[in-house]
Structure 1
């Protein structure tokens, strides 16, 4: 492998300007600003092979066009004197590109290493653009592409759309055609809407919904199971399930609901089963790309909705249908000014002896209609046997998080769905975390088998 090399790609566009930050930018800024050395954990990143191989100039042109198309990639953020956050869109600047050269058979491994390197450093979002790009070359062509972004610039949905656009541009699609295919609201325009009368009404309605749910929802979902020191680390468990990849799609199609509803139903069921609480309450991360003009936006839009289920059906099919209907309300009220919501919650704490327990977080990060990693080239096994290939690992421990019982991410991986769960072990010991994850998988797979998935 060659010595590391870096260049700075000059980008010039038509528009510049400044204005208040969006609700999403502000929320992520606030979350990251208290993490200190742990801030890179919030970066978002992606890498993928370019098997055909492309000239470096073609890939750099694609990155340049993408930075012109998507203004979040040219946006810096800085606090203002009033304690708010200002976004500044630059018309021109430089974007760092790391270059590596290696043998053709090593490009995947070197790409993974480069991706980890780029994602491991915090971003200076006030002084620099929130994106780093890496190219891995072999035999004079780029065979692997990676990029890391600050979470203030993109969430998972934005990252996947950006990766799609980069690939289409590399393959020869014109920027004009992408703009026609995927019209997208830019962050400055989104902020203008949010500060309009209509935007403020949306914010007020969402916060009112939250206040109502926090006032009448269940208290204390998970009673303490043991003592916890303030600095105790939170275990992270990952269930890798090839069976879930097929089962979720089958149950969703059979029950005529979304895959996210199937997964949310399984999560609510396990909360009730493990905790004994009859009314599960979960914070559900909502990508908000169903809002007008936001379907293709590359910025950070996702926020939490509050989902409250009054009872849990014994029959999983009935549960899925009820969850699908009830989740729509939570999704509708998941776009708001989080600073104002936090103030609402503090006022509510002073008025009520306690609030509903909203310490369980569920995030279905998948968008199979847009992107699904290619499955390994191996023969599919019957669903009844696929669970034999399920694995459970405990890869890492994280610093404690305030007001968190557990956080679960659902992730599409090559040939499988992964459930990544981080929990406070004084509320959910490791044995309960494992029971939760395995019960989650079992409910969906058993329903898929019962409804004809072979």
Structure 2
């Protein structure tokens, strides 16, 4: 059953779109019905359960707290604008079930909401789902357009929702709203930051390899991009151990393994990845619900080095990429078009662990690594339409009691057997090092 949650009396205004809004708009507007795969969403149990009116009030509080949830985008000549609404309504999708079926019903409702594309010009960028039993709300799901938030913003939104459900005060601290962020970006400080980031990108693009898979360079893209998913309980266990042993963040271990596995396949001496950076370490952005994450460019010379050394160098290179991941993406695209022969930057890595939870996946159970490795599986769930300027996109994501590597690739450059070798190669580098520690 669908109804609406109305709100009013909120902040409103119109201004230029932020860098993040513009970048996502540019991606999703060309995807049509396929744009739904860029939606972000998650949920949380409501315990103790709440009356529907109480839950609607909770959602109104979130709508008034975060302007991005009330923001649409529109084109004004050459400029993309954001429009923040003072009043309106968002869809509410409700499912009633028995007390024992709440989790199963939430699992069924979540993909239904995520599968619906948003109209960023005419539709507020949030949908609400609730699972009720005995007339009380027992589960809340929030599905957002990517123009409203990235995964880190979704996590902040769910934290606010959990605080409201528990009756705790909402987190204090400055939260840049989208119009405020746009004002910062167009200020002299913002223009200097943008210029510095784009200079760093261009410097790396001048130094990186022309192709990371030279044997197949220049082939036209495949008609469909396969998607392979490696589900590895052992990888989930080994990652903690390797990161602790080498005293780095887990993301550095994953990036190093991806660089090593890609280098073994393509033979390129250096790795170049576009790595999604959350940008929440910048002032005023820690608690923001908005599209702030952007790609940083990671250049890693000598990706064939020994794994411990590769991990340590990756950690430093990743920090450098993060420093220069906040910029005007459309201006950067014009800069890159002016380069004679930019490095291959068609490989993407996105670590989304913990960002889009629905029920809070359990961590891998403690067991011997060798036994856990025997339970690794590889599946081919779907094929996607070709992605522009993409050789591969690797997502690291949670799974129940496991960790998954989801790879979408241009089969003309990485045929299915190479995709399989790439994914198993990442697992092998990390798990083998963890086994050596034991």
TM-score range, shorter chain: over 0.9
- Equivalent residue, structure 2, for 1:77: 73
- Equivalent residue, structure 1, for 2:366: 380
Task: Report 1:368-407 matches (<5 A).
Answer: 373-375=360-362, 380-407=366-393
Where 1:271 maps in the other structure, the secondary structure is helix
Q: Classify 1:444/1:347 alpha carbon distance in 2 versus 1 (closer, same or farther; 3 Å).
A: same
- Cα distance in 2, alignment partners of residues 107 and 341 from structure 1: 47
**Equivalent residues of 2:131, 2:139 under 8 A apart:** yes
- Equivalent residue, structure 2, for 1:158: 153
- Cα distance in 2, alignment partners of residues 128 and 326 from structure 1: 40
State the TM-score, normalizing by the size of structure 2.
0.95
- Cα distance in 2, alignment partners of residues 56 and 171 from structure 1: 16
Deviations 1:374-420 (A, max 9, x none): 417x9632223111121111000000112211110001222211100
- Cα distance in 2, alignment partners of residues 56 and 187 from structure 1: 30
Cα offset for 1:371?
10
Q: Classify 1:63/1:301 alpha carbon distance in 2 versus 1 (closer, same or farther; 3 Å).
A: same
- Equivalent residue, structure 2, for 1:16: 12
- Cα distance in 2, alignment partners of residues 78 and 436 from structure 1: 41
- List runs of 5+ in structure 2 lacking aligned partners: none
- Cα distance in 2, alignment partners of residues 210 and 322 from structure 1: 18
- Equivalent residue, structure 2, for 1:361: 348
Task: Report 1:123-272 matches (<5 A).
Answer: 123-173=118-168, 177-180=169-172, 183-225=174-216, 232-272=223-263
- Cα distance in 1, alignment partners of residues 306 and 222 from structure 2: 40
Whether 2:319 is the aligned partner of 1:328: answer: yes
**Equivalent residues of 2:44, 2:162 under 8 A apart:** no
Cα offset for 1:436?
0.8
Cα offset for 1:44?
1.3
Deviations 1:72-128 (A, max 9, x none): 1011111112x2111111222112111111122222232222222222222122222
Where 1:188 maps in the other structure, the secondary structure is helix
What count of residue pairs does the alignment treat as equivalent?
437
- Cα distance in 2, alignment partners of residues 153 and 242 from structure 1: 33
- Cα distance in 2, alignment partners of residues 48 and 244 from structure 1: 26
State the TM-score, normalizing by the size of structure 1.
0.91
- Equivalent residue, structure 2, for 1:56: 52
Q: Classify 1:213/1:227 alpha carbon distance in 2 versus 1 (closer, same or farther; 3 Å).
A: closer
Where 1:280 maps in the other structure, the secondary structure is strand
Where 2:275 maps in the other structure, the secondary structure is strand
- Cα distance in 1, alignment partners of residues 94 and 53 from structure 2: 13
Whether 2:435 is the aligned partner of 1:449: answer: yes
- Equivalent residue, structure 2, for 1:103: 98
**Equivalent residues of 2:361, 2:398 under 8 A apart:** no
CA RMSD of aligned residues (A): 2.1
**Equivalent residues of 1:58, 1:170 under 8 A apart:** no
Q: Classify 1:389/1:13 alpha carbon distance in 2 versus 1 (closer, same or farther; 3 Å).
A: farther
- List runs of 5+ in structure 1 lacking aligned partners: none
Q: Classify 1:66/1:78 alpha carbon distance in 2 versus 1 (closer, same or farther; 3 Å).
A: same
